[in-house]
Structure 1
Amino acid sequence: MVYADDTQVYIMFDPSARKQAIASIEACVSDIRAWAKTEIVHISSRFRSKTTAPSVQVGTADIKPVEGVRDLGVFIDNQLTMSNHVSNVWTALYALRSLSQLRKYLDKTTTEHLVHAFISSRLDSCNCLLYGLPDADIAKLQRVQNSAARLVVGARRRDHIQPILRDLHLHQKADSFQDAFVSLQIPFKPGSSLHK
């Protein structure tokens, strides 16, 4: 995959062919040689016994695997738990606190724009990757969304959130994660057409 500021090399291999896979990655990456930053993450199931991933030789540099990487704004850890990403989105509460101090000087439209720029964009970016998260992580994301909605309408923390979300045309995040996943699946149903 090649993006404007990101080049990635993926290889899937059988554990018995690990040495050949590492040699293949080393050969490919040494041909590129124009990396601004090189990181390697070895993704495996949390149910497998933990093995130490070998380092990869890139030119003269010895690149050691890291626990997690940031890829196009998404924090991916080595077991795909998405906990690093949820923690990063959770830090949006700090931006909300800053915005709440300015709220009395802003009208509703300006507040909506700022909340969308600093909070909603974090919640919505790649949210289909968050499908199936544990309830505790969904609850953290839901708290960020609820706090943002309360800030926009000027509600207090004790005010019930459902009417506020309904007025702002927002859903509970658990529902919208499910909706995002389902909407990605609908066009690929057998017999359905992408063009109507």
Structure 2
Amino acid sequence: MELCVASFRQWMKTNMLKLNDGKTEILIIHPKPPHQHVLPVGEIIGNMHLTPNTHARNLGMTFDSNMSLERHVTNMFRTANYHLHSTGCIRRYLEHGHTKQLVHAMVISCIDCCNSLLNGLSVAVV
């Protein structure tokens, strides 16, 4: 693990990027059936203390350890409902066309983000 992080840090340095030690996360992906999968305890690599997470966020997508994407779908619908509720609070001040446009802009942008990765998910997740 330490060698992997060191090579990644070197690659970032070569490309004039900096690894943010405070935000770096580690996600161990494993199949669903073995529920007794043992996650290693926190590991200190360089000056970072890495503890495996059950989920990690990358470019707006929330991945979990068994790649079911349940957490991402839940967050996506939570955000869409928040925008619908917020629009409902100011609805009386907007014309019908503007309200429709606002709902389309806010809700569809939540649903459309990274939706190609959701292709093939079971109906139970969605």
Question: 1:56 deviation in Å?
Answer: 4.8
Q: Which of 59, 65, 89 pairs up with 1:78?
A: 65
State the TM-score, normalized to the length of structure 1.
0.52
Q: CA deviation at 1:72?
A: 0.8
The two structures have a TM-score, normalised by structure 2, of: 0.76
Paired residue secondary structure (1:137): coil
How far has the Cα of 1:82 moved from its partner? 0.6
2:6 corresponds to:
27
Q: Among all aligned residue pairs of Structure 1 and Structure 2, give the percentage whose two residues are the same amino acid.
A: 31
Q: What's the Cα RMSD here?
A: 2.2
Alignment match of 1:127 (pick from 115, 119, 123) = 115
> 2:122, 2:115 → 1: CA distance?
14
> If you compute each CA radius of gyration, which structure gives the higher value, 1 or 2?
1
Q: Which has the higher contact order (CA 8 A, sep 6+)?
A: 2
Aligned to 1:16: none
Give the SS at the match of 1:69: strand
Query: What SS does the corresponding residue of 1:62 show, helix, strand or coil?
Result: strand
Give yes or no for contact 2:26–2:51 (8 Å, CA) kept in 1: yes
Higher strand share: 2
Give the residue type in structure 1 aligned to 2:123: D
How many residues align? The count is 117
- Residue correspondence of structure 1 range 167-186 to structure 2 within 5 A: none
Q: Which runs of 5+ in 1 are unaligned?
A: 1-21, 139-196
